[in-house]
Amino acid sequence: MVVHRLSKWKRVALSRLSLHYPSLLRFLPTPRPFHIRRHSYEGLSSLRDLLICLPGIGDEAKDFEDWGFVDLVRAHGWAADVLLVDAHYGYYADRTILEQLRQDVLLPAAASGYRSVWLAGISMGGLGALLYASHHQQDVHGVVAVAPYLGADTVVREIVLAGGLAQWTTTITPSDEIRAVWSWIRSRGERNTSPPNIFLAFGDDDIFVDAHRLLASTLPAAHVLTAPGGHRWPVWQQLWMQFLRRHIAADVHKPRPAELSGS
């Protein structure tokens, strides 16, 4: 436990300092393939889903275990293998996150005959899940973005001043992932009918709540979950429980595609 806390403190410090001092990224190595914590489904169902969890900027894959996310999946009867991917800030900084996710996780999933594949991410991981879906939406059945980071306040104000996403236009450079994600969300329209299904969950006092409400305005009301509180694990745990209770427990026995395309 002490070793884990020291490792987590080091990652938090390096990730946040690297935002301002990129030279520190050398202390955030990005091994290939990813370090992944695997939790295989051991129930009786022959049909399984895959749930891929992406951590926040200062978090580790193990935090999903420590906060009961895997246990809650099991408690709600979801027949899913769970992969906790240690996709830390270094992969975003060197812009290898998408390719590594596809090569290490999503392409093998497509070859494994999963009924459906879900991406769940918290904070920075929520951005990563949406970013991946915007590039490879054919790989993913659903995205659960929990308190996602969706850019600085300037981006949100830019969209609001334009009159909302429908009226917003922008020039997107290859390195501007934030505006690329917002542009993709805008292109999906308010009905959210094209795959993947997007679910948004956030605390009503979250530091990114303005961006969350803007995204929520483009989603069906049933796809938006809120809870009291801020940008903290206890709030995210409650939101995860809400998502599983409202959507997975009701949907787990519905038929889904036998497998995903590997294209």
Express each pLDDT in 35-45 by its tens digit: 999 999 998 88
Averaged pLDDT for residues 71-94: 95
> What gap in Å lies between CA 148 and CA 10, rounded to an integer?
22
Q: Which has the higher per-residue pLDDT, 193 or 98? A: 98
Bridge partners of 146, per DSSP, are: 122, 201
Angstrom CA distances, 168 to 69, 73, 86, stand at: 36, 38, 34
DSSP letter assigned to residue 244: I
User: Does the domain made of 32-251 have the CATH classification 3.40.50.1820?
Assistant: yes
Reported confidence tier of residue 25, pLDDT bands at 50, 70, 90: confident
- Indicate left, alpha or beta for 68 from its phi (over 0: left) and psi (-120 to 50: alpha): left
pLDDT of residue 176 exceeding 70, the answer is yes
- In the structure, how many helices (H) and strands (E) does the chain have? 12, 7
For residue 252, give Cα distances in angstroms to 43, 77, 193.
13, 8, 19
Question: What's the average model confidence in pLDDT over 120-137?
Answer: 97
What's the pLDDT score for residue 21? Answer: 64
Q: Which residue has the tokens 């979950």?
A: 225
**For residue 222, how many C-alpha atoms fall within 13 Å in the half-sphere facing its CB?**
10
Residue 58: predicted pLDDT: 85
pLDDT above 80 (res 133) = yes
pLDDT average, residue stretch 64-91: 96
Taking the C-alpha atoms of residue 51 and residue 70, their distance in angstroms, rounded to an integer, is 10
d(CA 9, CA 130): 26
The mean pLDDT of the chain is 88
pLDDT above 70 as % of the chain: 86
User: What is the predicted pLDDT for the residue at 2?
Assistant: 41
Q: Is the dihedral of CA 197, 202, 208, 212 positive or negative?
A: positive
Distance CA 16, CA 93 (A): 12
Q: Does the pLDDT of residue 128 top 50, yes or no?
A: yes
Contact 38, 81 (CB under 8 A): yes
pLDDT score of 143 = 97
Cβ atoms of 152 and 179 within 8 Å: the answer is no
pLDDT greater than 70 at residue 66? yes
* pLDDT of res. 83: 98
Q: Which residue did the predictor score with more confidence, 203 or 21?
A: 203
For 118, the enclosing helix (H) or strand (E) is strand 117-122
Longest C-alpha distance within the chain, in Å? 53
Q: Annotate 49-75 with b (16+ C-beta within 10 A) or e (fewer).
A: bbbbbbbbbbbbbebbbebebbebbbe
Question: Looking at residue 260, what is its pLDDT?
Answer: 41
Query: Predicted confidence band at 192 (pLDDT cuts at 50, 70, 90)?
Result: low
